[in-house]
Structure 1
Amino acid sequence: MDTERVRRAYASVAELYIGLFGTTGQVHADDLAFIERHLAGCPGPVLDMGCGPGHLTAYLRSLGADATGVDMVGEFVDHARAAHPGGRWLLGSMERLAVADHRVAGVLAWGSVIHLPPSELDGVLAEFRRVVAPGGRLVAGIFVGDEVAAFDHKVTTAWRWPVDEFCARLARAGFTEVERLHRPGDATRRPHAAVAAVAPGGVRARRVQRLFECPADPRQ
């Protein structure tokens, strides 16, 4: 993924994007329920990777999850800090997380892996697996299609995945699928799916005082 190109593309439409998608009222109830089902009860830190305006991070926190939002677009992080002052927000990329191995109980990647070419997806899923503790969860939201294919997303090029193929990539990274949700498209939304997977092992993540190896941002 050309990270800088994607960052600039979202930064250029950040205000519009926030207006269209920046609250949980704009998220389908089935999607919110899926996220709650798999991440609300995590007994340790949860990362919302590519958190955008921060609404899903705030939603998880409202359910009791120890969630931190991470995004590479400064405009999104600034908005999230202003709109949800009780949360934690960091600038960062999913391709290289400043987190020690097996330190998090869950990862939410809701639409944040859609801009990864197939050749780069495995590396990011492996990075998620590195930071997730045994028994921890990954929830991913993706666009779906009959074959792996790029398409002209309104912000920048994105990819559709057959759900079975995406789940095979999760398995390759060391996750085990536990549930999937498929929703057809409508007049305003493309077909998409949600997949929940677990990192095998019997011991789930403990709460830790210092999740990130980098210094804390004083504005958090």
Structure 2
Amino acid sequence: MTEPSFLRTTRTFYDAVAADYADHFRDELAAKPLDRAVLAGFAELVRDAGAGPVADLGCGPGRVTAHLHALGLSAFGVDLSPRMVALARRAHPDLRFDEGSMTALDLPDGALGGIAAWYSIIHTPQEHLPEVFAEFDRVLAPGGHLLLAFQVGDEPLHLARPFGHAVSLDFHRRRPDRVAELLRRAGLDVRARLLREPDEGEGVERTQQAYLLARKPADGGRP
């Protein structure tokens, strides 16, 4: 099966910027109490459900994976970029990090108690979101939870030459209601939505940030 071009573009971009990205965002969560609160709430729900491990999809250098692990979850990371995975393994040698794609996860059905896709659906074109969310539904155990984070908006932001590297990539903003409807169609029940205003330093075109929490029905059926 031919790999979609957006996956190749995303991998090339993050391979190029991996070291600079890891340095720039290393301590980002320390300055974002609302983000930490969202992650803590997700972690508590997953722990209470007792449904299995958590995959941090699009984990980059592993900072969110490590944070979820510190919150008591059996967390591991998955990323398209081999260089990001290498950096994550070096920074967090006690945790598991795998190369992989959200469109086709190398996991059995119902293997996960939770999925965190923390600003990692932002490079997926709209027409590919249904297959990504169907894959999330497949690998989540009944009663498992999903946490999404993304920027709010309608038009993509094209980022060129980040950190001086000769690469570029589209960052797709989303409308929470549209994402919630796609999750519902995939069989996932949206349980909470949160919007916050942008913090200082969140890009040249600052926009609202969205967090959606969804759950796979405990009976495994559609909500």
Output the TM-score relative to the length of structure 2. Answer: 0.85
Rounded to whole Å, the distance in 1 between the matches of 2:102 and 2:20 is: 23
Match of 1:193 in 2: 210
Alignment of 1:14-25 (within 5 A): 14-25=18-29
* Residues 180-205 of structure 1, C-alpha deviations (whole Å, 9 max, x = no match): 121112442132111100001158xx
Q: Which stretches in structure 2 are left out of the alignment for 5+ residues?
A: 163-167
Corresponding position: 1:91 with 2:104: no
Answer whether contact 1:31 1:194 (CA < 8 A) is retained.
Answer: no
CA RMSD of aligned residues (A): 1.7
Aligned to 2:84, which of 65, 76, 83?
76
Unaligned 5+ segments in structure 1 are 204-220
- In the TM superposition, residue 82 of structure 1 has moved relative to its aligned partner by 1.2
Aligned length: 201
Contact preservation (8 Å) 1:20, 1:26: no
Answer yes or no: is 1:133 the counterpart of 2:133: no
Question: 1:29-44 maps to which residues of 2 (within 5 A)?
Answer: 29-40=33-44, 41-42=46-47, 43=50, 44=52
* Distance across 2 between alignment mates of 1:21 and 1:39: 21
Structure 2: distance between partners of 1:156 and 1:29: 28
Farther-moved stretch of structure 1 (4-13 vs 19-28): 19-28
Rounded Cα–Cα distance in structure 1 between residues aligned with 2:13 and 2:171: 12
Greater helix proportion: 2
CA distance in 1, matches of 2:20, 2:28: 16
**Which stretches of structure 1, 4 residues or more, deviate above 3 A after TM superposition?**
23-27
1:150 lines up with 2:163 in the alignment: no
Q: What TM-score results when the alignment is normalised by the length of structure 1?
A: 0.86
Contact 2:112 2:144 in 1 (8 A): yes
CA distance in 1, matches of 2:40, 2:29: 15
Match of 2:9 in 1: 5
CA change 1:177–1:78 in 2 (3 A) is same
What amino acid does structure 2 have at the position aligned with 1:182? L
Identity of aligned residues (%): 36
